[in-house]
Structures are given as C-alpha cells and as structure tokens.
Chains A and B, each alone.
Chain A
Amino acid sequence: MFIFMLLFSRQGKLRLQKWYVPLSDKEKKKITRELVQTVLARKPKMCSFLEWRDLKIVYKRYASLYFCCAIEDQDNELITLEIIHRYVELLDKYFGSVCELDIIFNFEKAYFILDEFLLGGEAQETSKKNVLKAIEQADLLQEVRPAPLKP
C-alpha cells in the first residue's frame, strides 16, 4: 500500500501530495520537508530506492518533477516504479504531452486522475484505457451546466 505520494520540483516546491494515512499537518510538513531534502541531495545515477526512517521510498525523476512515494515493507519496489510510470503516462495522455506547468495550473485535475488510478493506496484499475475513459466521463458530468443531479 502506498503511504503517501509526493510530487515536487527541482527547487523543492510541492506540486501534489496525497496521503493515505492519517497524520497531523505538522507531521506531514516535517516529513515532506525532510524527504524532499534527502531526495534532492541524491545524484542522478543513484538507486531509485532508499530506506528512510523505517519507510521504503521509491522515487523517479521525470523532467523537472520528482515523483516520490513511500510504500510498505512487503510491497514490490519494482512494480511501484511501474505504477509511478503508469501515472505519468495517464497525465501525459490526458494533458497531451504533460509538463510541470500543466500540473501546477490544473492541480485539481491531477488529483482527480490520481484518484481514478489509485484508491486507498492501491492500484484500482490496471488498464490505461479504462482510467482515461472514466475521467472523461466524469469531466463531461462536470461540464453539464451546473444543474443539480437527481440523487
């Protein structure tokens, strides 16, 4: 299970944070700050996995964004890398050649896509096509003039 997922820029600015365990705001800030520092200090060719404070951290850099997540002990690190890659592919397909600015200006959509791919810290849909279809449909629903839905 994912414990959290963070997206941050090379300057250490947070672009997305998703937490799957209850932590106080203060703790979240502390973890974020320290982890960002640790990951940014690593050299380019280094291993994508590290042990940090009893957590397994898996991170990957895509252009100017670091995708960093914490997983549990029994989780498979390599498949986590694949999950991160799948998320990036989804963003790419949705925004059409995604870049960091897209995620900054449309952060809520990045969250919606993430929530359609991961649920409660686990992958919910393994088919790229299905995830994108669901987002499309949900967006259409939102498009409909702000008419109240029948319950």
Chain B
Amino acid sequence: MSPSVALQEMIRAIRSARTQCEERGVIQRECAAIRAQFRQTDNGGRSHNLAKLLYVHMLGYPAHFGQMECVRMIASPRYSEKRVGYLGAMMLLDEKQDASLLITNSIKNDLSHSNQYVQSLALCTLACMGSAEMCRDLAPEIDRLLRSSNSYIKKKAALCAVHIVRKVRDLGELFVPSARSLLSEKNHGVLHGAVVLITELCGRSPETLERFRKTVPDLVQIMKGLVISGYSPDHDVAGVSDPFLQVRILRLLRILGRNNEAASDAMNDLLAQVATNTDSTKTVGNAVLYETVLTVLDIKSESGLRVLAVNILGRFLLNNDRNIRYIAMTSLQKIVGTDHNAVQRHRGTIVDCLKDQDASVKRRALELSLALVSASNIRSMMKELLIFLSSCPPDLRAQAASGIFNAAERYAPSKRWHIDTILHVLTTAGGDVRDETVPNLIQLITNTSELHCYTVHKLYRALLTDISQQPLVQVACWCIGEYGDLLLKGECQETEAVQATEDDVLDALEIVLQSHMSTPTTRGFALTATMKLSTRITDNVDRIRSIVSIYGSCIDVELQQRAVEYNALFKKYDHMRAAVLERMPVIQKNSLGQTNGEVSEETIKETQPGKVKQEEAAQPQQPAGQVVDLLDLLGGSQEPLAPSSLISITSSAPITATGSAGGDLLDLLGGLEPTPLTPAPAMTVYDKNGVTLTISCEQQSDSGLTVMLTASNSTDSDISSFTLQAAVPKSVQLQMKAPSRDSLPAKGAAKLTQLVVLNNPNKVNLKMRIRVSYTSLGSVVQDTVQVDSFPGISAAGL
C-alpha cells in the first residue's frame, strides 16, 4: 500500500505544533497550499490533497472549499481518486449543501460501473448522505442491483434501499418483491441486509406488514439453521453463530408476531429453543437472549414462554456485569404494567440497584422502583426511596421527588405518614419539587383537621432550622398563619410541643420576610401569614400593624399591594378583619392525576354558595376578594384547567377558594373592566321530595348564554339514573353537555352538575322547561318544571 507521504508528513507537522496558535499556523499554510493545488489541473497528488483537507476538517477547521474538489474527484476515472472523493463527499457534503446534487449523476454512472468496488463506493455514499431527490432518482437503479447475481453488490443494495425507504416512504412499494426473494439467499451478508430491509418496510406500512407475515416460517427456518448448526468459522462469535443476523431476525419476528396469534404460534418453539440453548456467559450470547426476551414479551406468546423470559431477565439482574443489569431493568420497565407480579419478585434486587454507583443504573432502578410501589410495600419502599433521595444525583432529584409524592398520594397508609413523608421530601430536596406541590400539600393539610396541631408544630420547627427550601418555607408560613393559635397554645398530642411566644412566631416570620434567600412568592406567603395572625394573637397586634405598614412602601409591587390592602383592612375595614381572616374552609380534594380535560366543576360549584354568601355580605368586595384571590394565586391553585372549563369558571365569576390561578387571574382582569365582578346567583327552580335543582347562568356574548344546573339530594337514600332534559323555544339553540355524574348519593354527599349552552340569536324571551327523572327506592320519578326568568340576566340585555 503506497503510503501517502505528504499526508503523513502534514499530520506529523500538525501534531508537533506545541500550541494551538502554532497548529493554526501550520494548518493555514497547508490549506493555502491545498487550495492552490486544487486550482491546478490534473496532477498525481490530487487524492492526497483532498485527504489532507479531510484531516484538517476532522480537527474542526473549515473545509468547505473542498466541496467542488470532491465533486471533481468523484467523476475521475481513477479509483484512488474516486475513493477519496466519495469519502470527502460523505464528510463534507450532506443533503443540506447544494453541491450534493451535483454528484447525483456521478453516482448514477458509478452504480452501473463494471467494477464492483466502484459500485460499492456509489452505494455507500448514497446510503450515507443521499437526499430525498437523489433517492427518488436512483431508486430504480437500486432495485435493479437488488436483483443482480453479485452477493457483494446485493447486500449493499439492500441497505441502500433501507436508506431510500427511510427518506422517501412511498418508494417502499418498489422494493417489496425483491426483498421477498432475497430471503432465500444463502449469503449471510445478503440475508442480513434483506432482513433489515423487510423490517424497515414493515415498520413503514401496515399492509406490507401483512404481506410479509407469510415469511415467518422461512425466518424460523433460517434461525433454526443458525442455532442448531455446528461451528461455522466464518460467522462464529464466541460460540454463537452469526449473532448479528440472529438478533435482526428476532427483531423482525417480533414485529411480525405482534398482535397476531398465528404468527406468534409459529415462532413459539423457536424462541424457546433460542432461549434455552444460547450460551449466556459472554455478552454476545446475552445480546441474543435479550432480543429473544424482548420478542417473547411483545408477541402473543404462551405463558410458559413468558415465565421463561421473565426468569432470564431475573438472571440478568443478578449478573455481575453492570451493562446486563441495566438492560434487565430497561426490559422490566416495559413489562411492569402487564406482568406486575413477576417483576415484584425481583423488587429486592431492584431496590439494591438504587445504591449502585452508576447514574444510568440508578435512573433505571428509580423508575422501576416507583412502578413497583404498591399498598403492601409502601412503608419499606418509601424508606428506601427517601434514603435514595438524600444521596441521589441532582438530575434525578425532581423525578424522584415527584415519584415519591405520587406514590405517597396513592398508597399513604395514614394521613400523618403522608404529611411526614412530604415534609421529609421538602426538607431534603425542597428545591427540586414541582410548583404544584405547595398547594397540594396545603390542601392535604387542611383536609386533615385532626393533625393541624401536629403539622404546625413540625413545620414551625422546620422553619426555625432552615429557611432556604422555598416550598417548605411557603407551606410553613401558610400553616403558621392559619393555625398560629394552635401553635401558641403550646400543647400537642402527637408530637413534642413547641413553646413559642407570640414574639417568637412573629420573629420567625419576619426573618423569612427579610431573608435574601426568600423568593418574592415566599415573602408574599409570610406577609399574609403575619396578617392572619393579627386575629389569632392577642398582644402583638401593633407589631403586626407596623410590619404591614413598612411593606406598604416595598419595591416589590406584589408585596406592596398586599401591604397596602392589609393596611386598609386595619384602618378602614377593621370591623371586617376578623371575618376576612378567619379559618379557610376545607379545600375540596382534587385528585393529583387529573389533567386538562377533567376539572370537577362540581367541586368548584359546591363552594360557590358558601362563598357567595360571604361576598354578598361584604360591601367593599375588592379588598376582601383580592385577599382571597391573592392567596389562591399562590396557595390554592390546582392542576391547570382546560380552556372550556376556564370559561365556565370565569363566567360563573365567584372567587372561590379552590379556583385555579388562571381562573382567578382572569377574574381579576375581568374585575378591571367596568362590569362589576358580581358572582352569578343561583336560583332554586325545583325542590321536591328532597331533590333540589338550582340553576345559575352567565351571559357569554350577545346571544350566547351558559346555564349551570346543579342537583342535590338531601334524602336518606341514594338516587340513581338521574337525568335532566331541557326544552327551549324554537328559535333558541340548545346544547347540553355531559352531566358530571348520573347518581345522587344521600344526604347531599355529592352534587350533580350539568352545563347547558344556549344561543338566542333572535333574542326572544327565554324560557326553559326542564324534565327531571330519577330512580329512588326502586321507583322511577319524573317531574317537569318551567323556568321563566333566569337569574343574573337582565331582561332587556338578552
């Protein structure tokens, strides 16, 4: 092999440069020389020059001036030049460069060259960087080559076809017949290429997949040949015969057997054979076993085979090789949903992997552990997970924290355990929890009224220790504000009580207010908490008044606004202060998992009547409303709501304690407009036999109106099959949305709501007849009621 001396000398020169600057100098000189030589006509050293340029390119220096030289070299009749030219094309030209189109013709010519090595260069380049246009142009050529008698070319053409199908999906059809016939080849390279091509074709189009299902017996045959046949020196790798081909065939079988009983049956025996016969001492055997396991778990295999597969994964989990353990966990993750019990058996090993040094293994172990948490093992698993959380790498913290919260939410054995767990997470990884954690925790705390005392004592202690974890500080401030009286009483059943004076508590809150570590949100919490304490403590109200007035000139607009309003509450509206700052009502539980579509409108509606009373009583609504709003913006926000439900909430307007931040924001903005932020009153239209139906409406637009029907049952027995039907005058368009439920439990345990959208373009006098039908105590009851006037709608305005 003639060494390219000039190239090697240049490489030596570059490597001997001692500084970056020197290297740059050498390279600039060389590039200049190369450029000069490119401009000259044909000389013997063209390929060397281009090779030099490619080396320089690999070091990271610009080499675009070599693109045209590549094009010229590809067209050269000399093989050495073609070879380097094509290499340059693959390195410097990609489909984004315009120059790449120029080589299409050369490739086309070279594909039909008499010398197979030239053809191979063209095929390789096309498969590496062929653009969609090039692929379309040359697809027929490739198909022709697929049918040639030369195995060397056929195997390359097959992979080139794979690239073409990836670039231009429609061309797949073209290759289907040739692909089919390639399966009867003996040459392993061609077989491998054929299997890859068929895999790609089946992946792109379901019809093709159907057609290729018939090849399952042939594939099974080929595999059997590989597995059973003796030692074949050409293809053997550590005792496994052509593992690369085996793995690809198994993968294709997986695709063909998925969701298809017949195909899965045909491969059952083979898979069992491969699973049992493959030597698992070396990586190569494990690679084949791994692919087999994936296939078994994905097709409709019989249960014995599945058990075998899961056992193989179990063995992998105990393997010394970390790679194998990682692979095992990845696969177990895939089946933890379907074969949960099988995976549970390996829980111990998986939990041990949480302590592994390797970050990838840790991540997998974390995901799998979280999936394996169940009601029976929650306590032990949580212990492990909390230990993990305290020492886990930073990029996994957020995932671990939210996983722990989800698990705690679903399987908490007791409320106290739940609160303790959340507090533990907040102290360990407070910075990495999601924003919803704070309102969720607050909601949880308000719901556990028996633990208010315990919670506030614990949180106070936590606050004294460390105020850097913002979510924890926020929750602590909120609780101290709410339950400060319990804290000051100094006694607690569940835990050692904190003996704090009013000054101590106010000190703690002031420290939070003034600390540079507190975010503006946290400061807001602290200020509001301080304000709330004014009704819960007796001696230091003046101190609170002075704190509040100081912040009236704070730079932060949010804080300033709050302080000013609280000040107003002290001065002008002192008579209302107690009412405004009284204990928050219990926030309705909204399950954590709810996503956009499912906001329980009924929960928001249920607090509505209560809030309506509170606000209607208070004349100056704005400060009171805004106090509640601001609290909700930070404290009460639930999962983000879908736009449609947002509209209904803003339309129903009441500032509820459970309203979402988004909804409240809109309310606030709505409040800025001239139309007053009046809540829509609810009107009872039907009240018989303990069943009540109320309606409230909101005008959406000039002719549009939404009516919310709410039904409740105050009898002692449940009501089922509750349905509402509505009729309106002919010109009015009516659309009834789905009701929130279809039964009414006894004693008003839950309400039923249904939204009706009306469109009244002709502005006729709106009337509605509502038919109520339900089953109670075994008998069916039907009743009709007519509604002639709608609350909240001005007669003229409709």
Chain-A contact segment, one of B158-166, B266-274, B515-523, B650-658: B158-166
Q: A63 at the A/B interface (Cβ < 8 Å)?
A: no
CB distance from B47 to the nearest CB of A (A): 9
Contact call B188/A127, Cβ cutoff below 8 A:
yes
Contact flag A119-B323 (CB < 8 Å), given A124-B156, A142-B83 = no
Residue ID in chain A nearest B322 by CB atoms: A47
Contact B124 A79 (CB under 8 A): no
Binding site of B, secondary structure by majority: helix, strand, loop or mixed?
Answer: helix
The interface residues of chain B lying within 8 Å CB-to-CB of A137 are 117
Considering only residues 81-118 of chain A, those with a C-beta below 8 Å from chain B are 81-83, 86, 104-105, 107-108, 111-112, 115-116
Q: B322, A46: Cβ atoms under 8 Å?
A: yes
Return the contact of A78 from the options B113, B242, B283, B361 (Cβ within 8 A). B283
Kindly list chain A residues whose C-beta atoms are within 8 Å of the C-beta of B12.
Answer: 105
Alpha-carbon distance A21/B208, docked complex (angstroms): 25
Q: B77 and A149: CB pair below 8 A?
A: yes
Q: A78 to B77, Cβ gap below 8 A?
A: no
Identity of the chain B residue whose Cβ is nearest the Cβ of A151 in the assembled complex: B113
Instruction: Say whether A81 contacts B323, CB under 8 Å.
Output: yes
**CB proximity of B226 to chain A, nearest CB, Å:** 11
**Contacts of B290-319 to chain A: CB distance below 8 A:** 290-291, 294
- A125 CB within 8 Å of chain B: yes
In the bound complex, CA of A78 to CA of B331 (Å) = 13
Q: Does B237 count as interface, using CB distance less than 8 angstroms?
A: yes
Chain A residues within 8 Å of B11, by CB:
104-105
* A24 interface contact, C-beta 8 A: yes
Question: Which residue, A16, A83, A138, has most C-beta atoms of chain B within 10 A?
Answer: A138
Q: For the complex, what is the distance from the CA of A66 to the CA of B323, rounded to whole Å?
A: 17
Contacts of A47 in B (CB 8 A): 322-323, 326, 358, 360-361
Whether A107 touches B127, Cβ cut-off 8 Å, given contacts A47-B322, A122-B196, is no
Contact in complex: B322, A82 (CB < 8 Å):
no
Q: A108-B54, A119-B124 are in contact. Are A76 and B113 (CB under 8 A)?
A: no
B703 beta carbon closer than 8 Å to chain A: no
Contact in complex: A108, B58 (CB < 8 Å): no
Is the CB of A53 closer than 8 A to any CB of chain B?
Answer: no
Whether A35 is near chain B, meaning CB under 8 Å from some CB there, is: no
Q: Any chain B CB within 8 A of the CB of A37?
A: no
* CB nearest to B12 among chain A residues: A105
CA distance A105 to B115 in the complex (A): 28
Cβ–Cβ contact A14 & B59, under 8 A: yes
- Expressed in whole angstroms, the minimum distance between the Cβ of A76 and any Cβ of chain B is 5
Asked whether A40 is an interface residue with its Cβ less than 8 Å from the other chain, the reply is no
Q: Which of B595-641 contact A (CB under 8 A)?
A: none
Chain B residue numbers with a CB within 8 Å of A134 are 117, 120, 152
A11 contacts chain B at the CB level, 8 A cutoff: no
Instruction: State the CA gap A71–B70 with chains docked (Å).
Output: 29
Q: Are B235 and A126 touching (Cβ within 8 A)?
A: yes
A143-B193 Cα distance, complex, nearest whole Å: 30
Interface of chain A residues 128 through 142 with chain B (CB within 8 A): 128-130, 134, 137-139, 141-142
Chain A residues, Cβ within 8 Å of B245: 126
**What is the minimal beta-carbon distance from A57 to any residue of chain B, in angstroms?**
10
Q: Are B156 and A119 touching (Cβ within 8 A)?
A: yes
Cα(A147)–Cα(B129), bound, Å: 28
Q: Which residues of B contact A130 (CB under 8 A)?
A: 189, 234
Q: Does A51 contact B (CB under 8 A)?
A: yes
Instruction: Indicate if the CB atoms of A149 and B152 lie closer than 8 Å.
Output: no
Contact of A79 among B58, B118, B247 (CB under 8 A): B247
State the CA gap A134–B189 with chains docked (Å). 13
Q: How large is the interface on B (under 10, 10 to 19, 20 to 34, 35 or more residues)?
A: 35 or more
The CB with the most chain B CB atoms within 10 A, among A111, A116, A142, is that of A142
Contacts of B44 in A (CB 8 A): 146
Determine if B96 and A16 form an interchain contact, defined as CB atoms under 8 angstroms apart: no
Q: Is the CB of B327 within 8 A of A78?
A: yes
Bound Cα distance from A61 to B131, whole angstroms? 34
CB within 8 Å for A45 and B357 given contacts A126-B245, A129-B234, A130-B189: yes
User: Is the pair B84, A108 in contact by a Cβ cutoff of 8 Å?
Assistant: yes
A122–B162 CB distance below 8 A: yes
Cross-chain contact B244 with A46 (CB below 8 angstroms): no
Chain A, residue nearest B109 (CB): A151
A127 close to B123 (CB less than 8 A): no
B279 within 8 Å of A (CB atoms): no
Residues of A within 8 A of B361 (CB): 47
**Please, which residues of chain A bring their CB within 8 A of the CB of B234?**
127-130
- What per-residue 1/0 map shows which CB atoms of B186-210 lie under 8 Å from chain A? 0011001100100000000000000
B283 → chain A closest CB, angstroms: 6
Chain A residues with Cβ below 8 Å from B284 are 78-79, 82
Chain A contacts of B84 at CB under 8 A?
Answer: 108
Complex: how many Å from CA A108 to CA B56? Answer: 12
Tell me the smallest distance from the CB of A106 to a CB of chain B, in Å. 8
With a CB–CB cut-off of 8 A, which chain A residues contact B224?
none
* Minimum Cβ distance to chain A for residue B364 (Å): 9
B532 within 8 A of A: no
Tell whether B676 is near chain A: CB-to-CB under 8 Å. Answer: no
Q: Does B575 contact A (CB under 8 A)?
A: no
| A12 CA to B193 CA, complexed, in Å | 34
Known: A81-B283, A151-B113. 8 other contacts (CB 8 A): A45-B357, A47-B358, A78-B284, A82-B244, A119-B156, A128-B234, A141-B117, A142-B79
Q: Which residues of B contact A (CB under 8 A)?
A: 1-2, 4, 7-8, 11-12, 15, 44, 51, 54-55, 58-60, 76-81, 83-84, 87, 90, 94-96, 109, 113-115, 117-118, 120, 123-124, 127-129, 131, 152, 155-156, 159-160, 162-163, 188-189, 192-193, 196, 234-235, 237, 242-245, 247, 251, 283-284, 286-288, 290-291, 294, 322-324, 326-327, 357-361, 363
Task: Show 18 residue pairs from A and B whose CB-CB distance is below 8 angstroms, ordered by the A residue.
Answer: A22-B131, A47-B323, A47-B360, A76-B247, A76-B291, A77-B323, A78-B284, A79-B244, A83-B244, A104-B11, A112-B83, A115-B124, A123-B244, A124-B159, A125-B192, A126-B192, A138-B120, A146-B81
The 10 A-B residue pairs whose C-beta atoms are closest, nearest first, are A120-B127, A148-B77, A78-B287, A120-B163, A79-B287, A119-B159, A22-B94, A125-B189, A46-B358, A127-B234
